[in-house]
Amino acid sequence: MRKMLILLTLCLIAAITAMAQGRVETRSYILSDFQDKVTKVVLPEEVFLQSAMRQEVVNLWTASAFEFCTLKEFEALKGSKDFYFLTIQAFKFKGEQEPGILFLSLLKGEDHEVISLPLAPADDSSGRELVYLGALVKAVQDYTLAAMESEKTAYVPDKWFNANYAKWGRMMSIYMAREDVSLSVKEADIEKYLDPDFHITNADTADGIFVDAPVNTLVSYCVAPVDPSSASYSYQMLFKADTLELYYISRHRVKPRSLAGFLTKDLKWLKGKR
């Protein structure tokens, strides 16, 4: 017992000494300079997405100074820890032959990914990403500021976002596009979890409601590869239309019994918090 106490004491002293010497870098500590650094916003080459990225960042990015840069400039600068980078990048999950999803990512240098949120399929575009890009920019910023203050938040971003719905979801109207609901979900199961303020509509109507920005209204957006493999993932999100806040996010691996889109378990969780 005495040896154990001595060992624990030595470990505690070593940890405190390491922290004092700056050797222990928690995620919150790594982000502590976020507001003091310049965020380089990497502009995509696609014209419409580039224009939307410029507009949304100018309108919404307030947490740090920012500068726009090209992909070529990003390649030259990405090794530097003097900058954060807000960029759109394709990601290939293990087992995928090609990248399936484009993510909006905040990076510190090239070694540390702060957060990545799904933006659009990598192999095709419906144009819906232009509607929700601003909300994703805001979500990246909101999360990073919160992660600076809380080590717990820094490690569990999904739980931090979903706490919004857990706390306020019962007060919200929901407009979920049928295109965002998995084909694995039977119509009877969809009806089971609906209520007078939980509506299933089409994507055009849902996007229009989001753009109109009514108060206390959540709108769905799902991102998955157009031609997913068994190694691909599907992401489901709900955004608050008037504030652009991300209220819910989930993901699952695409399988024959769990195709892309909101699953029954998503609907059940959402219903349970209302």
- Nearest-angstrom CA–CA distance, 228 and 245: 28
Q: Is pLDDT above 60 for 243?
A: yes
Residue-wise pLDDT for 88-127, tens only, equals 999 999 999 999 999 999 999 878 999 999 999 998 888 9
**pLDDT at residue 25, rounded to an integer:** 76
The pLDDT value recorded for residue 109 is: 86
- Residue 24 pLDDT level (bands cut at 50, 70, 90): low
pLDDT of residue 17: 46
Q: Is the pLDDT assigned to residue 15 strictly greater than 50?
A: no
| pLDDT higher than threshold 90 for residue 37 | yes
pLDDT tens track for 125-143 = 889 999 999 999 999 999 9
pTM: 0.90
Q: Mean pLDDT over all residues of the chain? A: 92
Which structural domains are found in the chain, ordered by start? 30-137 (3.40.50), 156-272 (no CATH)
What confidence tens digit (pLDDT) does each residue in 147-191 have? 999 999 999 999 999 999 999 999 999 999 999 999 999 999 999
Given a cut of 80, whether residue 19 has pLDDT beyond it is no
Per-residue pLDDT for 20 more than 80? no
**Stronger pLDDT, 86 or 27, i.e. the higher one:** 86
Long-range contacts (CB closer than 8 Å, 24 or more residues apart) made by 209-216: 209/175, 209/241, 210/131, 210/132, 210/239, 210/241, 211/131, 212/241, 213/241, 213/242, 214/173, 214/241, 214/242, 215/241, 215/242, 216/171, 216/172, 216/173, 216/240, 216/242
Residue 5 has pLDDT above 50, yes or no: no
Cα-based angle 246, 211, 158 (whole degrees, multiple of 5): 10
